[in-house]
Amino acid sequence: MAVTVRIPTPLQRLTNGQGEVACEGKTVTELLNNLEQRYPGVKERLCDKDGKLRRFVNIFVNEEDIRFLQGDQTAVKDGDEVSIIPAIAGG
């Protein structure tokens, strides 16, 4: 078991075209670090120079926006589903 991470179209080139990948980690930050190890280059797309999530990136853990949880310290566990979604949609 691991955490399923859904990869948005703009990043799928870095994940060999996969829309879903399995990752490990106890928090969103750890998950993103693990994602970077498996698919180098992903993190710099998602985070700015200071390592903070970019303004236009939304992350959801089991359908809930992490800004309503504990941000990048939100806990994740095996079987959870994490979605990375570009913020620019809707309305």
Partner 1 sequence: MSYVIGLKCRECGRLYPKEVINVCEYCFGSIEVDYDYDAIRRTFTKASFANRLASLWRYRELLPIEGEPTVGLSSGWTPLLRAHRLADVLGVRELYVKDDSVSHPTLSFKDRVVSVALTRAKELGFDTVACASTGNLANAVSAHAARAGLKCYVFIPADLEIGKVVASLIYRPTVVAVEGTYDDVNRLCAELSAKYPWAFVNVNIRPYYAEGSKTYGFEIAEQLGWRVPAHIVVPAASGSLITKIAKAFKELQLLGFVNDDPVRLYAAQPEGCSPIVQAIKAGSDIIKPVKPKTIAKSLAIGNPADGYYAAKAILESGGTGEVVTDEEIVDGMKLLAETEGVFTETAGGVTVAAAKQLIEQGAIPRDEPIVICITGNGLKTQEPLLDRPDRVGRPVRIKPNLAAFESALSHQLSGIATKQ
Contact pick of 23, 35, 46, 76 for partner 1 (by CB under 8 A): 46
Q: Indicate the residue type of 30.
A: E
- Alpha carbons 51 and 64: distance in angstroms, whole number: 22
Please choose, out of 28-36, 72-80, 81-89, the segment that lies near partner 1 by the rule CB under 8 A: 81-89
**Interaction of residue 68 with partner 1, rule CB under 8 A:** yes
Q: How big is the chain by its Cα radius of gyration, in Å?
A: 12
Toward partner 1, which CB reaches closer, 64 or 78?
64
The least distance separating partner 1 from the CB of residue 25, rounded to whole angstroms, comes to: 21
17 belongs to the binding site for partner 1 (CB under 8 A): no
Residue type, position 77, single letter:
K
